[in-house]
Amino acid sequence: MKGFTALLIRDMRLAFRAGGGASLAAAFFALVSSLVPFGVGADLVLLGRIAGGVLWVSAALAALLSLDRLFQSDFEDGSLDVLALSPLSLEAASAAKILAHWVTTGLPLVVLSPVLGLLLNLPPRAYGALIASLAIGTPALSGVGAIGAALTLSIRRGGLILALIVLPLITPALIFGAGAVADSLDGSGRGAFLFLAAFSVAAVALSPFASAAGVRLNVGG
């Protein structure tokens, strides 16, 4: 447990130090979603209608941004060997890294989302759904993303391949996340939100094992 906490704190520290991805992801999220009105025009009704989807797509892209270094930097500087030889299992190490990624990347997106919702004229009744869906859904982005990051950790410029692997896999989160916000606008039940929660639970539960397998494959290759 001490090792788990140590790795969690180390990764969170690294994310906030120079070159870490924490503030970068939040800034990217804000930038992409505020670019959309420039593209689709200042039709307030339309913007309010698509705000949920826009914010969810931006969040997915922002979360992806810092994922490629999740295991790769540890692989390059030898930290992954250190972890592999430590008493902490690679599954637990992956879980710590996924949690650290979510706290430093996903959580800031959740906190930032109401401000950007305001910017996109999201109707007031949908804020609850927006925040809740991002809070429930972003751990899935970190989890599924970690699997891709583990698989591509030894590939130079693996970030592009990572995006190709991860984006199709997180489509369910995108559909149900944006769906949950749309449901709250129409007042049509919580079906999408529950599906999002189910997807997120499954992704978070499975991802440490899948990521650890990916790391093992690369370290022993």
Chain residues in the site for other proteins (CB under 8 A) = 2-3, 5-7, 10, 13-14, 17-20, 76-79, 81-88, 219-220
Least gap, CB of 122 to other proteins (angstroms) = 37
Q: Which residue's CB is nearer to other proteins, number 23 or number 86?
A: 86
For the chain, what is the largest distance between any 2 Cα atoms, rounded to a whole number of angstroms?
57
Q: How deeply is 39 buried, as exposed, middle or buried, from its count of CB atoms within 10 A (0-12, 13-18, 19+)?
A: exposed
Least gap, CB of 65 to other proteins (angstroms) = 18
Q: Which residue's CB is nearer to other proteins, number 10 or number 49?
A: 10
Give the length of the chain: 221
Least gap, CB of 97 to other proteins (angstroms) = 13
Residue corresponding to tokens 């130079």? 156
Q: Which residue's CB is nearer to other proteins, number 169 or number 219?
A: 219
Q: Which residue's CB is nearer to other proteins, number 1 or number 45?
A: 1
Residue corresponding to tokens 């199709």? 168
Dist CA 66 CA 145 (whole Å) = 10
Q: Which residue's CB is nearer to other proteins, number 88 or number 130?
A: 88
Least gap, CB of 21 to other proteins (angstroms) = 12
Least gap, CB of 78 to other proteins (angstroms) = 3
Q: Which residue's CB is nearer to other proteins, number 49 or number 216?
A: 216
Burial track 123-162 (b if 16+ CB lie within 10 A, e otherwise): eeebbebbbbbbbbbbbbbbbbbbbbbbbbbbeeebbeeb
Least gap, CB of 71 to other proteins (angstroms) = 14
The three-point CA angle 79-83-89 to 5° equals 160
Return the amino acid letter for 47. L
